[in-house]
Amino acid sequence: MAAVSFAVRTLIDIAARRKGIDDTRCRVALLHFETATLLHRSLRRALKPHKLTDLQFAVLVILFSTEPEPISASVLAEHAAVSRAAITEALDKLEALQFATRARDDADRRVMYVRITAAGQETVDAAINDYLRTAEVATRYVGPAAQRAVLVAYLQLLRGLSVNGQPRRSAAARA
């Protein structure tokens, strides 16, 4: 198996020898994880010239999609699936780069609204292009029929996983 780490190859081999372990399912999960790790590394490299972290990029994409409307920091944290503390840290950096601005709600001083700046729009637009091109190039070895099959499989996998990332037990296993 090309480009598969020694640890993953070893786990696949062990799964094949363990009783009660479905080695094919383990292979799917482990190869998915290995592929996702390599893809994530490529996508992070696409963000590097823009000096953005994954979270900063996600925040700018969310702000880009909601422009011209501001969004509260708490809703932004929810959409980015991170804590409010993590959003605050990301916004501090984005504000320092002049990619985003924050303003308190006049009616409720506890609420902080966030907007993307023109510089933020320009940067995220270029970063989005690089990010999407990297994603597109990453799939160049997968034909259209296989792409459709992978999409169907990922949707099934997403439906099968609970919010906390633990696989749901099948109905037979729950009985």
The b-or-e profile of 69-94 (16+ CB within 10 A means b, else e) is ebbebebbbebbebeeeebeebbebb
User: Which DSSP string corresponds to the chain?
Assistant: -TT--HHHHHHHHHHHHSTT--HHHHHHHHHHHHHHHHHHHHHHHHHGGGT--HHHHHHHHHHHHHTTS-EEHHHHHHHHTS-HHHHHHHHHHHHHTTSEEEEE-SS-TT-EEEEE-HHHHHHHHHHHHHHHHHHHHHTTTS-HHHHHHHHHHHHHHHHHB-TTSPBPPPHHHH-
Interval 98-105 mean pLDDT:
93
pLDDT tens digits, 41-76: 999 999 999 999 999 999 999 999 998 889 999 999
Say how far apart CA 15 and CA 13 lie, in whole Å.
5
1 pLDDT higher than 60: no
pLDDT tens digits, 119-175: 999 999 999 999 999 999 999 989 999 999 999 988 888 888 755 555 555 554 544
Omega of the bond prior to 68 within 30 degrees of 0, cis? yes
Domains, the chain, with CATH or none: 1-50 (no CATH), 51-162 (1.10.10.10)
Say how far apart CA 97 and CA 95 lie, in whole Å.
5
Say how far apart CA 61 and CA 81 lie, in whole Å.
13
Residue 1 pairs in a beta bridge with none
Query: Considering the entire predicted model, what is its pTM?
Result: 0.82
Tokens representing 135?
């994603």
